[in-house]
Chains A and B, each alone.
Chain A
Amino acid sequence: MLYALCFLLFMIGLYCTVVKKNMVKIVLGILVMEYAVNIFLIMLGYRQGGEAPIVGREDVLSGSKVTEAFINSSVDPLPQALVLTAIVISLGSLALMISICIRTYQRYGTFDITKIRRLKG
Chain B
Amino acid sequence: MTIFYILLLFIIIGAIIAVETENLLSAVICIGAIGFGASLLFLFLKAPDIAITQIVVEVLGLIILIRATIARDLTFISGDREFFGVVVSVVIVFVIFLAGIIVLQTLPDFGTPAFTKASVPASEAYISEGLEKTGAANLVASVILDYRAYDTLGEATVLFTSIIGATVILRKRSRKLLEESE
| Contact A11–B93 (Cβ < 8 Å) | yes
Query: Could you give, for residues 107-128 of chain B, a 1 whenever the CB lies within 8 Å of some chain A CB and a 0 otherwise?
Result: 1001111111000001110111
Interface residue range, chain B: 35 or more
Kindly identify, within residues 1 to 25 of chain A, every residue whose CB is under 8 Å from any CB belonging to chain B.
1-9, 11-16, 18-22, 24-25
| Contact B68–A92 (Cβ < 8 Å) | no
Q: How far, in angstroms, from A103 to B148 measured CA to CA in the complex?
A: 37
| Contact B46–A48 (Cβ < 8 Å) | no
Interface positions of B (Cβ within 8 A of A): 4-5, 8-9, 11-12, 15-16, 18-19, 24, 27-28, 31, 34-35, 38, 41-42, 45-50, 53-54, 57, 60-61, 64-65, 67-69, 72, 74, 77, 79-81, 85-86, 89-90, 93, 96-97, 100-101, 104, 107, 110-116, 122-124, 126-128, 130-132, 135, 137-140, 143-144, 148, 151-152, 155, 158-159, 162-163, 165-166, 169-170
**Beyond A39-B41, A48-B112, 15 additional pairs, beta carbon < 8 A:** A3-B104, A6-B8, A24-B69, A25-B24, A28-B18, A28-B28, A32-B15, A32-B19, A42-B47, A63-B132, A64-B132, A77-B139, A77-B140, A81-B140, A105-B72
